[in-house]
Amino acid sequence: MLSRNNLQQQQETELEIGVLASLVAGLDNRDDNVLGFISNLLERLDRNPGFGEEYHGAAGRALAAINDVVTRNGDFGRAYKEISEAVDSIYRYLACSEGAGCETPRQKQSESVTKAVKEEISQETSLNSESTLFDAANRELCDFISETNEYLDLAEAALLELERSPGSREHIDEVFRCFHNIKGISGFLGLKDFQELAHAAEDLMDRIRSGQAELSGTRAQVTFDVVDVLRSMLMSVREAMSGGEYRAPAALAEIMSRLRDPGESSQSCACSCLQLSAPRTDECAPVKKADEVLRVATARLDALIDSVGELVIANGMVQQEAVSQGKENPRFAANVQRLGKIVREIQEQAMGLRMVSLEATFRKLARIARDLSTKSAVPVNFTFEGEETELDRSVVDEMQSPLVHMIRNAIDHGIEPPEERARLGKPESGNVHIAASHQGGNVVIRVMDDGRGLNKEKILEKAVDRGLVKPGAELTDREIYELIFEPGFSTADQVTEISGRGVGMDVVKRSVDRLRGRLEISVKPGRGTTFSIWLPLTMAVIDGMVITIANQHMVIPSIAIQEFLRPHPDQIRTVNEKGEMVLIRGDLLPMFRLHRLFNLSGANEEPSKALILVITDGDRRCALLVDDVVGQQQVVVKPIGTMFDRVPAVSGASIMGDGTVALILDTAGLLRMAREVRME
Amino acid sequence: MVREVKSVPVVGVDRLSKYLTFVLGKEEYGLEILRVKEIIGLMTITSVPKMPEFVRGVINLRGKVIPVIDLRLKFGMAEARDTEETCIIVVDLGETLMGVVVDKVSEVLDIEDTDIDETPSFGVSLDTSFILGIGKSKNKVVILLDIARVLTSEAAQLMGLPSERTHTDS
């Protein structure tokens, strides 16, 4: 074993091994400079008597091969193999007990990973007891986790592409590269499990790209499974970092043997596989290289954005003052105006910092759709567009689950089995398409399927069954479809493992409400269903309509306002002496007096002298009575504190130009209250 | 006299602590200066619907929206008209800030722990759990409040949570 008398020497050696491993990891093709370094390191390590015969032999072969390449233009591939072998033998030796040349059992490897993680952390602390170095070790592991995750994402995306266009050299190379890199960075940190699995997967990809094997059927499934197993191993590392134990997942041993099994033929898998779809028009576009990026801690970014928010408010106040001051001092007015323009630019840029594209989300959905279609034996063609559309990070995060729910519903309930589809004259594969686009200051995400379409009768039946609707009640089509948003509602005949537990659509609605968005349903019975989700671009700033009630300002999100009007006295009707309604172009809408809700006195109580705002959340509508509308403006949203969570109709607060606080009204809450009044 | 009655040291050990004293009605109250973020004059308070009476609403504190409590109403006193001397004490509760409306702010007093007496019990009708003790300084008697307890138990009640809270500092 390594001589432990000299701690420094041991540390140096370990450093050299690490450098060697990472050099090898980055070695894509012949680079004489790098090869020079590598042979230098191999020689130095060879001088260490502790590494044993195996390494000595392997190092010798590697050095010879390198020499061959550099001086006689020999086969680089062979040299690479020898070098990898040499590095592997070092690791094998390190993980083993004194020169026994043993085969490391799985458990010992898990132990060695845990040990590696703990050593990584303790090494830093023993060298220097400052806690900042402890953080550095943690950070290294965090970096490893996020880097590996990135490679796994890239590999998965390439694998999905390969299913559409098998044999695409570009994508096979991409997958190879990803596993190769994972092998490298895990080797550098001594995480053996990762290294071995990545190595085996890399080997498989190598066989595929050299034509020795085909990526199809079970082999394709194995590659996806490798991604999954690696992901679960990363979770285990996270646990080890917070003081738990690293445990290799059970699937690891199984998948290692699957990867090694040479008897894999191209037998098609037992279940029906994902149908290959016609290539998209931009199929031939080259795989995008990652843009130049910089890692910034989110906390710093959030702090910056908070400050920008305050800058915007302060600027608003100055602008307001400048209106009166500027009259006497035109130079001042001009300066303030220029300042305002710059502040607006900064605001836009700062908001842009938090924007992420939907690409990662859509790719994840593609993977889920593929897995679901395989599992439920329903062939589904999942496509997406507009993935480059950007949204605020928190909006994208909040929408992950709802979108997954909707895809699940579409595949599990919407798409008919192939025989039924054939009978109906539909293409054998179901189609699920998700599209994102910008529309008038918002982002619209549409989830469409060409399946059965929501079943009106079944929904109504279930709703009556659950007591949500009185039997014999008359509801419009829209209102019937809306019923699926009620908690606990589900029309699945059997609760499948995948969905049908009745928690889907109401969660979606709640998320969309929380984001101050809008959710619409459109159904073509027998032909399919389309869900449209309108989302604001950012949570920090909304486009709002400022209204006044009894000399107090309030803000209603513009996205919710359909129209406003001054009613004629005979447009106002009362129902059962309880609720008021307003007649607008033949439709009776429930009317809500905001001043009553907020207990404000001094408001304009006469509707025909006040203003009515018609608000909607996509499906439901109601009318609000307010004093006046001040105007439309960008409003910075301030959290109002958990203390006010119970308040039904308020979702936040904003600071007006004069420094006062204006409450931001929550349309979903208002509509809910209006509906309760009506349902009585 | 005082030393014979066992004084329970309620804050720290043999310490001199500073308290901000203020007036509510006829009584003088105090709270630990460490909890005080700032004192501001009364400003326009935006009321929030469906809240208990003693929640006056929210204000804009340099870009942050914080809730404001009327301490008189919270203690069940009669409501009073706001005067020129009425102000808002912004209290730091650790995770959040909250404002309390008081009639008048008096001064900052140094009170030694030994000069703080245990709160006499007034029977079951009055909850005195949020009183740290009765402080004596110069000739004044100051009711020292555990302001965190006063405010967080309220917030907790509103959220429907049990009002046991662990305070990070004494």
Q: pLDDT by residue (tens digit) across A146-202?
A: 888 888 988 998 888 888 777 788 888 889 989 998 988 888 888 888 888 998 898
A210 burial type by CB count under 10 A (0-12 exposed, 13-18 middle, 19+ buried): exposed
What's the pLDDT score for residue A490? 61
Does the beta-carbon distance from A310 to B62 stay under 8 Å? yes
* H or E, element range at A17: helix A7-25
Q: Smallest Cα–Cα separation from A101: which of A41, A57, A48?
A: A57
Q: Which of B44, B47, B50, B59 should be substituted to probe chain A, the one whose Cβ sees the most A Cβ atoms within 10 Å?
A: B50
- Least confident span in A393-397, A418-422, A488-492, A546-550: A488-492
Top-confidence residue, A307 or A493: A307
Asked if residue A351 has pLDDT above 70, the reply is: yes
What's the pLDDT score for residue A23? 78
Helix (H, G, I), strand (E, B) or coil at A674: helix
Asked if residue A326 has pLDDT above 60, the reply is: yes
**CA A637: distance to chain centroid?**
24
Mean predicted confidence (pLDDT) in B72-85: 86
> What is the DSSP secondary structure assignment for residue A428, as one 8-state letter?
S
- Least confident span in A257-261, A453-457, A525-529: A257-261
Asked if residue A394 has pLDDT above 90, the reply is: no
Top-confidence residue, A269 or A415: A415
Asked if residue A391 has pLDDT above 80, the reply is: yes
Mean predicted confidence (pLDDT) in A237-260: 76
Does the beta-carbon distance from A644 to B59 stay under 8 Å? no
Question: For residues A348-364, b (16+ Cβ closer than 10 Å) or e, as one string?
Answer: eebbeebeeebbebbbb
Mean predicted confidence (pLDDT) in A324-348: 87
Report the C-alpha gap between A257 and A274 in whole angstroms: 25
**CA A2: distance to chain centroid?**
45
Does the beta-carbon distance from A661 to B46 stay under 8 Å? yes
A599's torsion region: left (phi>0), alpha (psi -120 to 50) or beta?
Answer: left
Instruction: Tell me the angle at which helices A131-164 and A359-375 cross, rounded to the nearest 10 degrees.
Output: 60
Report the C-alpha gap between B71 and B102 in whole angstroms: 6
Does the beta-carbon distance from B65 to A639 stay under 8 Å? yes
Beta-ladder partners of A536:
A442
Q: Is B51 on the interface with A (CB under 8 A)?
A: yes
Asked if residue A408 has pLDDT above 70, the reply is: yes
Which range, A6-20, A299-313, A497-511, B148-162, has the best average confidence (pLDDT)? A299-313
Report the residue from B49, B58, B159 with minimal CB separation from A640.
B58
> What is the DSSP secondary structure assignment for residue A412, as one 8-state letter?
I
Closest residue in chain B to residue A306, using alpha carbons only: B63
Place of tokens 């105090």: B30
Does the beta-carbon distance from B49 to A643 stay under 8 Å? no
Report the residue from B46, B63, B96 with minimal CB separation from A663.
B46
The DSSP line for A91-137 is: HHHHHSSTT------HHHHHHHHHHHHHHHHHHHHHH---HHHHHHH
What's the pLDDT score for residue A302? 80
Mean predicted confidence (pLDDT) in A613-625: 83
In this prediction the pTM is: 0.54
Its sign, for the CA torsion A10, A16, A22, A28, is negative
Closest residue in chain A to residue B48, using alpha carbons only: A598
Asked if residue B132 has pLDDT above 70, the reply is: yes
Top-confidence residue, A290 or A438: A438
* H or E, element range at A192: helix A192-209
Mean predicted confidence (pLDDT) in B114-124: 74
Beta-ladder partners of A383:
A433
Q: Is B159 on the interface with A (CB under 8 A)?
A: yes
Asked if residue A499 has pLDDT above 50, the reply is: no
Place of tokens 């009894």: A550
Shortest distance between the Cα of B3 and any Cα of chain A, in A, equals 43
Asked if residue A388 has pLDDT above 90, the reply is: no
Closest residue in chain B to residue A553, using alpha carbons only: B46
Shortest distance between the Cα of A655 and any Cα of chain B, in A, equals 7
Greatest CA separation for chain B: 51
Mean predicted confidence (pLDDT) in A113-127: 55
Does the beta-carbon distance from A638 to B63 stay under 8 Å? yes
Top-confidence residue, A210 or A134: A210
Instruction: Using a pLDDT cut of 90, give the percent of chain B over it.
Output: 18
Q: Is B67 on the interface with A (CB under 8 A)?
A: yes
What's the pLDDT score for residue A62? 85
Mean predicted confidence (pLDDT) in A123-145: 58
Q: Contact, A655 vs A641, CB < 8 A?
A: no
Would you place residue A287 in the very low, low, confident or very high pLDDT band (cuts 50, 70, 90)?
very low
> What is the DSSP secondary structure assignment for residue A274, as one 8-state letter?
P
Would you place residue A674 in the very low, low, confident or very high pLDDT band (cuts 50, 70, 90)?
low
Shortest distance between the Cα of A650 and any Cα of chain B, in A, equals 8
Place of tokens 């500092």: B169
Report the C-alpha gap between A533 and A436 in whole angstroms: 9
Q: Contact, A567 vs A612, CB < 8 A?
A: yes
Mean predicted confidence (pLDDT) in A449-465: 85
State chain A's mean pLDDT as an integer: 77
The DSSP line for A330-345 is: HHHHHHHHHHHHHHHH
Does the beta-carbon distance from A643 to B67 stay under 8 Å? yes
Report the residue from A638, A646, A648 with minimal CB separation from B65.
A638
Report the C-alpha gap between A461 and A244 in whole angstroms: 50
| Chain B residues in contact with A644 (beta carbon < 8 A) | 48, 51, 58, 67
Q: Smallest Cα–Cα separation from A620: which of A443, A485, A488, A469?
A: A485
φ/ψ of residue A631, rounded to 5: 165, 175
Report the C-alpha gap between A382 and A399 in whole angstroms: 18
**CA A602: distance to chain centroid?**
48
Mean predicted confidence (pLDDT) in A389-395: 83
Does the beta-carbon distance from A638 to B64 stay under 8 Å? yes
Would you place residue A675 in the very low, low, confident or very high pLDDT band (cuts 50, 70, 90)?
low
Q: Is B157 on the interface with A (CB under 8 A)?
A: no
Q: What is the interface size between A and B, counted as CB pairs within 8 Å?
A: 70
Helix (H, G, I), strand (E, B) or coil at A62: helix
Report the residue from B50, B63, B160 with minimal CB separation from A647.
B50
- Least confident span in A124-133, A196-205, A361-370: A124-133
Q: Is B44 on the interface with A (CB under 8 A)?
A: yes
In tens, the pLDDT along B150-161 reads 887 655 555 444
Report the residue from A310, A643, A648 with minimal CB separation from B158.
A643
Q: Contact, A1 vs A98, CB < 8 A?
A: yes
Would you place residue A106 in the very low, low, confident or very high pLDDT band (cuts 50, 70, 90)?
very low
Asked if residue A618 has pLDDT above 80, the reply is: no
Shortest distance between the Cα of B49 and any Cα of chain A, in A, equals 5
Shortest distance between the Cα of B104 and any Cα of chain A, in A, equals 23
Q: Is A638 on the interface with B (CB under 8 A)?
A: yes
Report the C-alpha gap between A266 and A262 in whole angstroms: 12
> What is the DSSP secondary structure assignment for residue A601, as one 8-state letter?
S
Q: Is B161 on the interface with A (CB under 8 A)?
A: no
Closest residue in chain B to residue A638, using alpha carbons only: B65
Asked if residue A45 has pLDDT above 50, the reply is: yes
